Chains A and B, each alone.
Chain A
Amino acid sequence: MYKRTTDENLKRILFLGSGETDFGLQGENDAAVYQVLPILKSQGYALFLVDDNPYSLALESADAETIVATLTVQNIKAIIKEKQIDAVFPGFAGVRGLRLWHQIISEWREEDGPRPVGLGMPDSTVSLLNHSTALFERLETAGLAMPQATIVRSQAEANELLRDLELPLLVRAHNPAQGTTRRIVKRLDDFERVVDEVLEQSLTKEAVISKAINGLKEVSLLVLRDAAGNCLQIGASEDMDPIGIHTADSLSVAPVLTISDQVLQEMRDQAFLVANILDIQGPVHVQLALNEKTNQLYLIKVSPYLDQLSNRMALLTGYPVMLVAVQLATGRLIQDVELPPSYHEKTAMMEPVMDHIVVKLPVFSFGDMAAAGVTVNRQLNSIQKSVGSALGFGRTFTEAMEKAIRAAHFNNRSFSPKYMKHVNDDELIQQLIHPQDNRVLLLLEALRRGYEVDELAELTKIDEFYFYQLKRILTIEGKVTAGQPSQDLLKEAKASGLSDGLLARFWESDFQAIRELAKQAGVTPTYKALEPSAGEFPENAHQFFATFEEENESVPVSNKTILVIGPGAFRMGDGLAAGYATSVVLSELRKLGYKTVIMNNNASDASLLPHLSDKQYLEPLEVSDVMAVVDQEQPEAIVVPGNRRKLIEALVALGQQVIVLPKEKHQPAGPEPGESEFALNLFYDGERAFPLVLTQHQQGEIRLIDQDVFDTDLSMIQLPYSGVYQLIWREDRTDWVEQIPLPDFAVDSWLRPMPYGQVAFLSKILQVSLIRLVVRSWKQGGLTNDDLEALVAHMPALRGSDFAMVSDRTDFDLHLKPEATIDSTRFEMGAKIVRLQGDDDGQG
């Protein structure tokens, strides 16, 4: 028993940013920082944030002093000194933050002055987490079982080990330079190559080899712990796919459905033990493998910091994980945590319980790449290949799953019973054993072809529960195709997650006809509140999802509402920037006095944060889902990203007032090697175009050109929607220009909406939020003179001309094994802002 409260001397906190987005590193950290800044500020802290991610929303927060700088020890030390930082919080910066903080601690010298404390975990834990051997030893001593692992330093040592252990083996880098990847070696032929690769990835040139535990069930748990050692479980989710497929690439479901309470409690106990051993104040994500024959558990990964699971659990339980986690890190005990008034006063202390099912489906970019002529390895294994994920919320597993599939693909094409016809039986078996991205659809097809549940469960190591659920879908599908539209059938089909559009496909009708039919039959969605007490307490919930039951809990927000359609899952080439744009739209609409409602299904960006909008609908974004929410909320207007052309057309056809946030349907390709792409960036306020700045783009890097363009005549430009656009032309040159003669725009350039990523970058560098101006221009009369003056005032100084945006760091080879080089502009996963230092190396 310790009477620990927050440290009075702790006043100035520096948040480390998580840097550029990548596989497995989406916007979750940035969203978390953005969410927690206001509450910490209200508790009297002075807050600072350093990051180099151009798509960061938190970097534009008014609640912290934000600093754009490359995340190096030297830079952070300088900031600490200059800003007189008392405490550094690395917990919302993922494994990168932890590694950076470890370096800072290790390299701190006496002459650097007093070192700030680290929040969230003691120094000893930081160091333990950066020495995996010591960590394993510590966890093992405490009685936690792990697949036996050995560290090898050479090919010879690896071969030695191979004689003792049988394949398959799991090989991964010890102290890897990038995030951890695990590879499973099944064939002797692959062993040497994999060991070589992994040794190369390790900072210490060491590989860890252990027995593969393929085929076991994988479960992720999220727990929180406070300074006094109190632990609570936030949630758990199980993967449908067995170990052997990266958890990010598997369908997962929460709450856990197929595991007994006894085993779940054992898992919880182990997660608490890990949190206690590491003395964490905040979240701990623990991944466990379960051998169902013996009930033996193996600890396979420990992530004692915020990651995707934290944000996902926050969204799907309604428990404010990030707001609580950060306060625990500052030393508050769980019973002293403060929450905004929309929560029940005891919410922080109560373990959230779910009365709904959420399915997470990975989103892959294989299709987009194939369309661009890039062939990649589609087979799923222990290396992450998905780039994002979409969530489906429902009251049954099938409803949640169908909604997740629609959320992941924006359409119902893949549901067609004919979709898989082309796969022959041999291929089917092959793909059952060696799964690809179309996993769920393939399982459905196998059932359709009469494979037995036992057989399939044996072949795939997937729990038979899932096959019974998939069979239900086939049953509904059969009923629908065999039957005529009726009230009962409509209700049953829609309660199973089928959309109006999909039913129209089955009945060879159109969406609007089915929608009318359903309305007449009284089959309309009932929205259920998503809150952490599962109905035990009245909570002032703002999150809803649709289902088809008796009680509708959602009440329209106001008669002056704007509905904003989110971008859905994180996708390549679009990435976090789309989430950023949506979030800024919401923030600005609210500033202008509108009530806002957001529809989205991605947990990793900020757009669904409870404080950004008045209501959040966690739904797929097909036209039938959108129109159902329109019927419920009666919005004045609907904001839709410009790439959703079909949706825009459908909504307009249905008489809705649509505001388009300009965006190309596909991310434009970047310049070829040896080529430069130039852009005159401009702002169009609905009537007139205003020139902003010139940028030059070479493969993977964009810079500003220090050249005045204000007098450029753009009077010929007339566009349907206000927004930020670019006039583009290309030249064969690879030098970075200081001045460039402008072409005849009418002849030698083409116009396109500025990609969101560049909008976010320019907004930061020019220090004027371009999206906010776009939103303001939607008002009657467009931008005010003040707005325009502000916009112009930021241009001439070109304070950004010593910054560049670089986006060529993603390790596509590791994740996707492409046969050709991947265009890192078009298929960008993330980018960073770097400061140019006189010369043109651009590496900051």
Chain B
Amino acid sequence: MVNKIVLDQASMQRALTRITYEILEHNKGGQNLILVGVKTRGEYLAHRIADRLEQLEGVQIPVMAIDISDYRDDRLNQHSKLGLDEEDRVNIIDKNIVLVDDVLFTGRTTRAALDALIQIGRPKTISLAVLIDRGHRELPIRADFVGKNIPTAQNEKIQVKVKEIDEVDQVEIVH
């Protein structure tokens, strides 16, 4: 198995920077904004975007994490746990949500996250930010903010590594 680095640390940082600028462009000054990271790595990426927004605008944007590993339509499970508590549920009402994930592939993860968010609260808008869009969508889902488009083959795997848990910041293709 060969891993090829497709995004090094510097490029990954800059992709997040660009996403942040675009989020700002679409959400004036970051008001009413909540970042929701899809566990595990999406959560770390959401925090990094929040850090950047703070550097730039001096505002602290709330970050939540959502765990949809039990919630996907292809893995039926009645006892889904989202990792969101009651307070979170209230907080997202009428807010502009940016859902943050590491990789956009078939769109099933995103759909599950959308379902979950809508189910628990009533956000005003939901947009989607992904570090990597690798194509091969199976659902009509499109990211609003993309760090990097990386065309891949079906059988390849994209692995996003973040320093917090993987020791390095980089994106690899696993053949």
Contacts and interface: CB of A to CB of B under 8 A. Distances in A.
- A and B in contact, CB less than 8 Å: yes
A2 B51 CA distance: 9
A229 interface: yes
A1 interface: yes
Interface in B116-132: none
Nearest to B55: A1
B24 to A, nearest CB: 16
A229 B9 contact: yes
A2 B10 contact: no
A333 to B, nearest CB: 14
Interface in B53-68: 55
Interface in A102-131: none
B9 A1 contact: no
Interface string A198-234: 0000000000000000000000000000000100000
Contacts of B11: none
B80 to A, nearest CB: 33
A549 B28 CA distance: 60
Interface string B25-68: 00000000000000000000000100110010000000000000
B163 interface: yes
A412 B51 CA distance: 64
A806 B9 CA distance: 49
A229 B55 CA distance: 18
A229 B10 contact: yes
11 contacts: A1-B13, A1-B48, A1-B51, A1-B52, A1-B55, A2-B163, A3-B51, A229-B9, A229-B10, A276-B9, A276-B10
Q: How large is the interface on B (under 10, 10 to 19, 20 to 34, 35 or more residues)?
A: under 10
Interface string A1-26: 11100000000000000000000000
A3 B51 CA distance: 9
Interface of A: 1-3, 229, 276
B63 to A, nearest CB: 15
A229 B10 CA distance: 9
The 10 closest A-B pairs by CB, nearest first: A1-B51, A1-B13, A1-B48, A1-B52, A2-B163, A229-B9, A229-B10, A3-B51, A276-B9, A276-B10
Classify the interface of chain B: helix, strand, loop or mixed: helix
B162 to A, nearest CB: 11
A512 B48 CA distance: 71
A276 B51 CA distance: 23
Contacts of B52: 1
Contacts of A276: 9-10
A772 B109 CA distance: 75
Nearest to A124: B167
Nearest to B48: A1
B45 to A, nearest CB: 12
A2 to B, nearest CB: 7
Interface in B133-175: 163
A3 B55 CA distance: 11
A2 B12 CA distance: 13
Contacts of A3: 51
Contacts of A2: 163
Interface string B1-14: 00000000110010
A548 B116 CA distance: 79
Nearest to B52: A1
Given A1-B13, A1-B48, A276-B10, 8 more contacts: A1-B51, A1-B52, A1-B55, A2-B163, A3-B51, A229-B9, A229-B10, A276-B9
Contacts of B9: 229, 276
B14 to A, nearest CB: 11
A349 to B, nearest CB: 18
Contacts of A229: 9-10
Contacts of B10: 229, 276
A229 B8 CA distance: 13
A649 B116 CA distance: 93
Contacts of B55: 1
B2 to A, nearest CB: 12
A553 B55 CA distance: 43
A2 B48 CA distance: 9
A537 to B, nearest CB: 28
A279 to B, nearest CB: 9
A457 B10 CA distance: 42
A492 B9 CA distance: 55
A114 B52 CA distance: 36
A144 to B, nearest CB: 14
A834 to B, nearest CB: 41
A157 to B, nearest CB: 28
A1, A3, A229, A276: which has the most chain B beta carbons within 10 Å? A1
Contacts of B51: 1, 3
